[in-house]
A and B are shown apart, each in its own frame.
Chain A
Amino acid sequence: MFEVGEIRETIDMIDEENLDVRTITMGISLLDCVDSDIDRSCRKVVEKIKKCAGKLVETGEIIEKRYGIPIVNKRVSVTPIAMLAGASGGDPVKYAKALDEAARAIGVNFIGGYSALVQKGFGPGDRELIESIPRALAETERVCSSVNIGSTKAGINMDAVKTMGTVVRQCAELTADRQCVGATKLVVFCNAPEDNPFMAGAFHGVGEPDCVINVGVSGPGVVRAAIASMDDDADLQQVAEKIKKTAFKVTRMGQLVGTVASEMLGVPFGIVDLSLAPTPAVGDSVAHILEEIGLERVGACGTTAALAMLNDAVKKGGVMASSTIGGLSGAFIPVTEDAGMIRAAREGVLTVQKLEAMTAVCSVGLDMIVIPGDTTAEVISAIIADEAAIGMINSKTTAVRVIPGIGLKEGDEFDYGGLFGSGPVMPVSTLSPAKMINRGGRIPAPIQSLKN
């Protein structure tokens, strides 16, 4: 049986250290909803989502009560809508509204998959969908969007990068009266994972089964507390070992919840995404883990090294704990969603340049960063290109979710409340990359040998 210490450890993780299952996300294929008439197609989409995920929220709540573990979000991801839009034609925003309606009906707070995969070029429906993203995100509440513009095997589609700079700005402009919230629901990816359960970048890849349950675990607070319990003179190998053991326990919990949810819903279990996903709550910060390792503030020299070790140790611990790891699986560094990052950004010690370096060693990318309202579309495109290049060369996922703060300048702040948190405008270079961005074309796929 269990020792009292083990029972207390689990309870303390949940009560004191914000341990939770961050999301149970049901992936649903909508390929069988495609119809040549967009209205009929939309109706089928709503019906299928209701049929597959009608009991998702209720099941999550039953599991929460049985195991005493909070499951913060129940969500749905769907087949990239550009594929449906390509077949049906018509205004893709109709699909966004259908997704929003379905999400409301089943009680999930976000639904992901208003997406297009254009790393090598635009297929039917891709351009229409991408151009409709600003309207779709302004006119719906729960729909999340993502566009994959590059991959290690395909290179970077710079025509798409150019377009996305404008699209990100338009998302902010169309929702300027709501703190530019449209831009918080759009992720631009390189090497997007097809089984990611985390929003806003979740979509249900074409290689996935018809319906699947993916689980995202979290637990930055647990990792921080585990490191805090160590002696200050513990060496970094011991710290990495501690992180591994903690990640193992957290992931096992995710595996259990995923297995039970898949049994209860009669849907195959997909993956556990063992990411450290912060929230603005006190004690739920990835930045505070890095500071606990020994940095005065996140953003200091040494941040990239500490984050690299953290990210790797989390993976090593988690991989042994679950039979199927997937998704993003690493440490997230969304600025407005992390109390420690917010503080460092306000103090000016955490910069976009440092964050960019951090994204080379962790998942996922430049995330939830408010940039000045007068940042040009070309500069946003160039930020996307830089991030995509890091992902492409290093065979990893990278992404950009920046929020142009329309009407805001350095020193101003957005305050979203809830999981999105708050954050100051962070300065970015205003030097013009316009000539390069306007060249368009493709950055060819990189060589996979001669790695230096």
Chain B
Amino acid sequence: MRSIISVIGKDEVGILAKVSTLCAEHNANIEAVTQHVVEGYFSMTMIACVDDMDCSIGELQEFLDKVLPETKNHVMHEDIFHAMHRI
């Protein structure tokens, strides 16, 4: 079971580090990361395996919002993307 983590906002030092630290702390295994910075705006999409995670997806969202209060963060179960974009 995977979770899609996405962060968008003003670029600053350490965003990716904060997200990956949080994943490590809760035992979510990062499988892929795509990241862009365009004109000072940071956009990251991460796919993490959450089979052995020690918290729920909803809780990970809350933790992420705490460490990155200035950006728009989403933690979502992969099934919603499967449903919408794959037949």
Chain A interface (Cβ < 8 Å from any Cβ of B): 1-2, 4, 6-11, 15, 62, 64-69, 249, 252-253, 255-256
Query: Is A68 within 8 A of B75, CB to CB?
Result: yes
**Nearest-Cβ distance from residue B19 to partner chain A, whole angstroms:** 15
Expressed in whole angstroms, the Cα–Cα distance for A2 and B78 within the complex equals 9
The contact string, 1 if C-beta is below 8 Å from chain A, for chain B 53-86, is: 0001110010000000000101111111101110
**Nearest-Cβ distance from residue B62 to partner chain A, whole angstroms:** 9
Given contacts A4-B45, A65-B57, A66-B57, contact A253 B74 (CB under 8 A): no
Chain B interface (Cβ < 8 Å from any Cβ of A): 4, 6, 32, 34, 43, 45, 47, 56-58, 61, 72, 74-81, 83-85
**Nearest-Cβ distance from residue A76 to partner chain B, whole angstroms:** 24
Query: Is A249 within 8 A of B84, CB to CB?
Result: yes
Nearest B residue to A69 via CB reads B80
Nearest A residue to B32 via CB reads A1
**A contact residues around B43 at 8 Å (CB):** 8
Q: Which of A7, A15, A62, A65 contacts B81 (CB 8 A)?
A: A7
Query: Is B58 within 8 A of A66, CB to CB?
Result: yes
Query: Is A255 within 8 A of B58, CB to CB?
Result: no
**Nearest-Cβ distance from residue A276 to partner chain B, whole angstroms:** 17
**A contact residues around B83 at 8 Å (CB):** 252-253, 255-256
Expressed in whole angstroms, the Cα–Cα distance for A68 and B5 within the complex equals 11
Given contacts A2-B81, A66-B57, 19 further A-B contacts (CB under 8 A): A1-B32, A1-B47, A2-B78, A2-B85, A6-B84, A8-B43, A8-B45, A10-B76, A10-B81, A10-B85, A11-B6, A66-B56, A66-B77, A67-B76, A68-B74, A68-B75, A69-B76, A253-B80, A256-B79
Q: Which of B34, B61, B84 contacts A65 (CB 8 A)?
A: B61
Nearest A residue to B46 via CB reads A7
**Nearest-Cβ distance from residue B70 to partner chain A, whole angstroms:** 16
**Nearest-Cβ distance from residue A5 to partner chain B, whole angstroms:** 10
**Nearest-Cβ distance from residue B67 to partner chain A, whole angstroms:** 18
Expressed in whole angstroms, the Cα–Cα distance for A8 and B78 within the complex equals 13
**A contact residues around B77 at 8 Å (CB):** 66-68
Closest 3 pairs between A and B when the two form their complex, measured CB to CB: A65-B58, A68-B76, A256-B83
**B contact residues around A249 at 8 Å (CB):** 84-85
Expressed in whole angstroms, the Cα–Cα distance for A253 and B81 within the complex equals 9
Expressed in whole angstroms, the Cα–Cα distance for A66 and B32 within the complex equals 20
**Nearest-Cβ distance from residue A261 to partner chain B, whole angstroms:** 13
Nearest A residue to B35 via CB reads A4
Expressed in whole angstroms, the Cα–Cα distance for A7 and B36 within the complex equals 14
Complex A-B: 18 CB contacts under 8 Å: A1-B47, A2-B47, A2-B85, A4-B45, A6-B81, A6-B84, A8-B6, A9-B85, A10-B81, A11-B6, A11-B74, A65-B61, A66-B77, A68-B61, A68-B74, A68-B76, A256-B79, A256-B80
Expressed in whole angstroms, the Cα–Cα distance for A249 and B6 within the complex equals 20
**A contact residues around B56 at 8 Å (CB):** 65-66
Query: Is B61 within 8 A of A10, CB to CB?
Result: no
Query: Is A252 within 8 A of B57, CB to CB?
Result: no
**Nearest-Cβ distance from residue B58 to partner chain A, whole angstroms:** 3
Expressed in whole angstroms, the Cα–Cα distance for A252 and B82 within the complex equals 9
**Nearest-Cβ distance from residue A66 to partner chain B, whole angstroms:** 5
**Nearest-Cβ distance from residue A186 to partner chain B, whole angstroms:** 36
Expressed in whole angstroms, the Cα–Cα distance for A11 and B74 within the complex equals 8
**Nearest-Cβ distance from residue A221 to partner chain B, whole angstroms:** 16
**Nearest-Cβ distance from residue A62 to partner chain B, whole angstroms:** 7
**Nearest-Cβ distance from residue B57 to partner chain A, whole angstroms:** 5
Expressed in whole angstroms, the Cα–Cα distance for A253 and B84 within the complex equals 6
Given contacts A2-B4, A7-B6, contact A68 B81 (CB under 8 A): no
Query: Is A10 within 8 A of B80, CB to CB?
Result: yes
Given contacts A10-B84, A11-B6, A249-B84, contact A67 B74 (CB under 8 A): no
Expressed in whole angstroms, the Cα–Cα distance for A276 and B85 within the complex equals 20
Nearest B residue to A252 via CB reads B83
**Nearest-Cβ distance from residue A57 to partner chain B, whole angstroms:** 15
**A contact residues around B85 at 8 Å (CB):** 2, 6, 9-10, 249
**B contact residues around A8 at 8 Å (CB):** 6, 43, 45
Expressed in whole angstroms, the Cα–Cα distance for A256 and B74 within the complex equals 19
